[in-house]
Structure 1
């Protein structure tokens, strides 16, 4: 996660247009791009409600069935069209979940009806048809996929999932307050100071919107005030969150959406390679380690989880778009997941003991011969939606929804068990990495680090898609007269920097990996979480070297993005030729929130932790890919050929610890994290 490259949408990203005209010039969207971007925002506006735009409704009367309009017409498309013809599509009112086999198959068919279109006109009509006739969740899944996967449409900005589908990311009381809001009544009651509605919803000035600093400084320019001039900004006060001390992490919309997007990016990726499997498991390990560090900081049990721990976390107060209440997990689901895990653990134990594995075609392979251990790894450990499916459930469950799974405490219990088997398999069967991994003729002598400080930061989250669509249509025209934001408080951190003093007897290139872990000094390192904060390439020269690094330079991290309402207003302003719309106006979807890399510090007593620095040889095999934008078609970025997560991709025995974690190429540094109160609650 830490060594991903931040790539921009700027440059020569091209979209397909009417008549083949170019969309972008110098990274600025032209009128053809803006037409598509406005259409996308309007078609996704209140995606859970019936479409009110007559223009798009009339265009979506028919799905394009002419096979010549598609580059490929495959079996999935034929199956989808047959299901539609026979009236067997997932009903609009049914709760959609990509982990249910029938739901996934239909979303795959619709995805190909989007992906394989020869031109924009066909795609345009198919999108309109699906918006009118298809289950909203299924439609959103397929459209998200095609905008992530087709290079000619990747410049289009897809609003964030927690703004399109807020019901799954906010408490039920927040959802109902927004859904019950009536703008006309609010206007009439403005002078009624005792009105409960007035107390709950207040109009604020544009400059009061938080955070002020977005990626690209989009809230600090005069153009932003021009764009928002005709929009009333209303703020819904924050409702009290649960008392669980870990919820500031698990309820963070950035934390939740990160897992959603990396799974969306990997799904339907043609290059479903072992490298993607390794990357997926490294991200799962990162999430588990980060979660454990937060529990450690909150003085909660963190070394080993049980289902009893999960059961004591309380009942979630979340709704789906159908206003059904999420459950943590049903007994049936617990039984099925447990049985699947037990089967995995049995198969892994047998593979390790016998050194053989029976493939899906019935043939047996020797796992110690050549790279056969990799074949066993690929078949034993699933990582994409085609293999992570469950029977349909009668009601929504946090664990079984990609939007909410990391909010479920069961997720971390199951993740720990899966990763335990994954690492034991690699420890037993992967050829050990020896030789030139640890650089010679150097010594990490000292480390200095600036204060590590966390705080609770106020932020306004766009809930506009929770309001009824009728508020936004006047005389057949789509308008955006106001936006509803909710004030929340989230974990944030001060930027920090560190410097390393390294002596070297020669000029050499090395990779520095930086891990955050607990302050525990005894026992096995396998029981402690190691969260990779950073990795970077640096050059050492003969003599003493001072290497300085700023937290804002860590790759793979993102800041705050432009909201759904602001995005629409900027498009409107650009169509009036009063704003040059940049093609990198939003943050990448598969980036991890920069503000969440440190656990909450201590208020009175600092949180004691340790940093581990590991230096490895640079082998000149670095590769830059585009996974930050959820594009896995060309693999993932990496510095070298070491396993992702090295040196913790496997369980370490004593000799492994001595080789990987002890020596002049490693350094342990105690650190303290403090939490300060900077912003009074409203």
Structure 2
């Protein structure tokens, strides 16, 4: 408790020092520029002489830390003995020894009493520690310490482009030489583009249409690598950098957070959403989707990360079979043997929650795996959503999770069904998807020598890769509600397949949920897709962010603290599956209304901060009404009656010119 109080006091002091009127002052800007530059070309040796000198020694004076714990002692001992992971080796926090090293460095960052101690430790780690360990520990500190949460980390796919792009793209970027490119009249598939051609033009805050943006980017040459064609017919989703980084950031936020039943439920709800969204894409592509199977050699393009090995497949299948057997025994015998050897009756009190916690861990730091000889898509948090087998394993895991919860926590859902209430009609504007051209920042993969002039860091050019990504036009749905009384009501909106009357195995993806007051008579409610909760738009790139900081340091710009988007928000542009060309993709909307019980809770999970819990409207399960297995919509009171409405919809895909 004393430790938390001290950190809170430190946080308050730094907050008052750094922020004013939602703008970052010079203290904040100094920290922000340092953070961006120390992460620049993080996998190469540090070239900044000032920081190399500062990073010669780790601060080991215990008085400079709020707590000096065993993790720190073991970490420094391993460093002194040369046991830490070498800089040039592949890092994966799911490996037990890699995670322990990350934990030690994290505490050397997190427990510091002041910025100057943290500054020196960051410089030391940048020079001496494996880049993966370094980035992981630093990310956790930015996510977890309240006084540093306003600092903006570059997006993970901008820090590690090699994890998110194919080998051809990575090879071209690494070999690129700016001087030769100019000398030979720009003859290559890399071209210079005008600032107005950088896509997407529309960012959160409308930054790319501002005068300040042109000032910030005035001295930067914007270069673009032409996009590669997407071959695999699910690649527009699986290869999407926003789709992949969402899962990475979610796991970063959850790691090292105090265990809670609500956080566990939230994590499994997010997993169910990812699975449902993937299944809708398969449905739209006319692929099997109700029962997923193991895929082999589904990745056709060259990547640094290979598909999972046969050994990995055997290990995961074995663990899933063991889990399914333990869940079956727990349900059959209403008892469970804990890891410490004691046996509990799952019917007593809330013992079933103890069993739930042991059976279904959700924090990746508790899921150690065996080391593999080569990086595998499935076993790296940055790339796991790119593996089609991920969804097969997720489906099996979620089936066991729902089975267990359904057996031990039957909920009287009828008490949440509103009375004297009817959904009369739903109207929805056209649902249209299209392939949108965008530019993704590859600057961190270029050689660091291009960014230092006379020992000083400069950012003379940026290399972007043109990609096509799935996007949809904004849409709005409108509800007409009849009621005989005033009642606070929650509406949940789901997208599912066009199957009628057969809901078993169908994916239900939650698009929207909101709370409103319904009054006697006819009520009309309009919900624009831009208002859907938990979603984020496009963010400023690594290059632009750095240039805005420099502009603000010259006092030519008031740097807003909301210049970037939340890391744990889901990409708004991915909520609809790709529509049909010519023949629209037929699907259905389901709207479910429930009574509000005045127990809403507002969390900060969009910013990957779970210290105060997660947001929820009520005490119903987050996945309600699909937290359990429903056999038929006519048999389930939750999805039949006046408080629900089914609507046939169509999604059309339009071709857009580049």
Q: Report the TM range for the smaller structure's normalisation.
A: over 0.9
| Stretches (4+) displaced over 6 A | 13-21
Count matched residues. Answer: 651
Q: Does 1:179 align with 2:174?
A: yes
Query: CA shift at 1:359, angstroms?
Result: 1.5
Q: Per chain length, whose mean CA-contact separation is higher, i.e. which structure has more relative contact order (CA < 8 Å, sep 6+)? A: 1
- Whether the 8 Å CA contact 1:512–1:536 is kept in 2: the answer is yes
In the alignment, which residue of structure 1 is the partner of 2:74? Answer: 79
CA displacement 1:478-510 (0-9 Å, x = unmatched): 000000001101000000001111100100001
Query: CA shift at 1:314, angstroms?
Result: 3.2
In the alignment, which residue of structure 2 is the partner of 1:246? Answer: 234
SS state at 1:89 partner: coil
Query: CA shift at 1:658, angstroms?
Result: 2.3
Q: Does 1:228 align with 2:217?
A: yes
In the alignment, which residue of structure 2 is the partner of 1:629? Answer: 607
> Matched residues in 1 for 2:301 and 2:347: separation?
46
Q: TM-score, normalised by structure 1?
A: 0.94
Of 85, 93, 98, 1:98 maps to 93
CA displacement 1:629-655 (0-9 Å, x = unmatched): 000011100000111111111112559
In the alignment, which residue of structure 2 is the partner of 1:452? Answer: 431
In the alignment, which residue of structure 2 is the partner of 1:535? Answer: 513
In the alignment, which residue of structure 2 is the partner of 1:582? Answer: 560
- Whether the 8 Å CA contact 1:69–1:122 is kept in 2: the answer is yes
> Matched residues in 1 for 2:97 and 2:112: separation?
23
> Matched residues in 1 for 2:608 and 2:634: separation?
34
In the alignment, which residue of structure 2 is the partner of 1:362? Answer: 341
Of 280, 302, 306, 2:289 maps to 302
CA displacement 1:576-603 (0-9 Å, x = unmatched): 0000000111000000000000000001
In the alignment, which residue of structure 2 is the partner of 1:3? Answer: none
Q: Which runs of 5+ in 1 are unaligned?
A: 1-12, 191-196, 320-325
Counterparts of 1:242-321 in structure 2 under 5 Å? 243-269=231-257, 271-307=258-294, 310-315=295-300, 317-319=302-304
Query: CA shift at 1:18, angstroms?
Result: 10
In the alignment, which residue of structure 1 is the partner of 2:4? Answer: none
In the alignment, which residue of structure 1 is the partner of 2:309? Answer: 330
> Matched residues in 2 for 1:353 and 1:21: separation?
57
Q: Relative to 1, partners in 2 of residues 1:201 and 1:216: Cα closer, same or farther, differing over 3 Å?
A: same
In the alignment, which residue of structure 2 is the partner of 1:380? Answer: 359
- Whether the 8 Å CA contact 2:535–2:569 is kept in 1: the answer is yes
Of 540, 544, 549, 1:571 maps to 549
CA displacement 1:110-157 (0-9 Å, x = unmatched): 001000000001000000000000000010000000000000000111
- Whether the 8 Å CA contact 1:236–1:487 is kept in 2: the answer is yes
In the alignment, which residue of structure 2 is the partner of 1:128? Answer: 123
- Whether the 8 Å CA contact 2:337–2:343 is kept in 1: the answer is yes
> Matched residues in 2 for 1:100 and 1:470: separation?
33
SS state at 1:109 partner: helix
Query: CA shift at 1:23, angstroms?
Result: 0.7
> Matched residues in 1 for 2:582 and 2:14: separation?
65
Q: Relative to 1, partners in 2 of residues 1:222 and 1:595: Cα closer, same or farther, differing over 3 Å?
A: same
Of 587, 596, 599, 2:577 maps to 599
- Whether the 8 Å CA contact 2:216–2:548 is kept in 1: the answer is yes
In the alignment, which residue of structure 1 is the partner of 2:41? Answer: 46
SS state at 2:347 partner: coil
Q: Which runs of 5+ in 2 are unaligned?
A: 1-7
Query: CA shift at 1:315, angstroms?
Result: 4.7
In the alignment, which residue of structure 2 is the partner of 1:441? Answer: 420
Between 421-430 and 283-292, the greater mean CA deviation after superposition: 421-430
- Whether the 8 Å CA contact 1:14–1:153 is kept in 2: the answer is no
SS state at 2:463 partner: strand
SS state at 1:22 partner: helix
> Matched residues in 1 for 2:422 and 2:633: separation?
21
> Matched residues in 1 for 2:414 and 2:547: separation?
57
Query: CA shift at 1:25, angstroms?
Result: 0.6
> Matched residues in 2 for 1:452 and 1:548: separation?
16
Q: Does 1:608 align with 2:593?
A: no
SS state at 1:609 partner: strand
SS state at 1:105 partner: helix
Q: Relative to 1, partners in 2 of residues 1:227 and 1:233: Cα closer, same or farther, differing over 3 Å?
A: same
- Whether the 8 Å CA contact 1:15–1:23 is kept in 2: the answer is no
Of 453, 468, 489, 1:489 maps to 468
In the alignment, which residue of structure 2 is the partner of 1:638? Answer: 616
**RMSD, matched Cα:** 1.6
- Whether the 8 Å CA contact 1:96–1:103 is kept in 2: the answer is yes
CA displacement 1:33-68 (0-9 Å, x = unmatched): 111111111100000111100011000001111111
Of 92, 103, 109, 2:104 maps to 109
Q: Relative to 1, partners in 2 of residues 1:314 and 1:59: Cα closer, same or farther, differing over 3 Å?
A: same
CA displacement 1:325-363 (0-9 Å, x = unmatched): x11101111111111111100100101111111122222
In the alignment, which residue of structure 1 is the partner of 2:371? Answer: 392
Q: TM-score, normalised by structure 2?
A: 0.97
> Matched residues in 2 for 1:388 and 1:216: separation?
39
SS state at 2:415 partner: coil
SS state at 1:411 partner: helix
- Whether the 8 Å CA contact 1:234–1:485 is kept in 2: the answer is yes
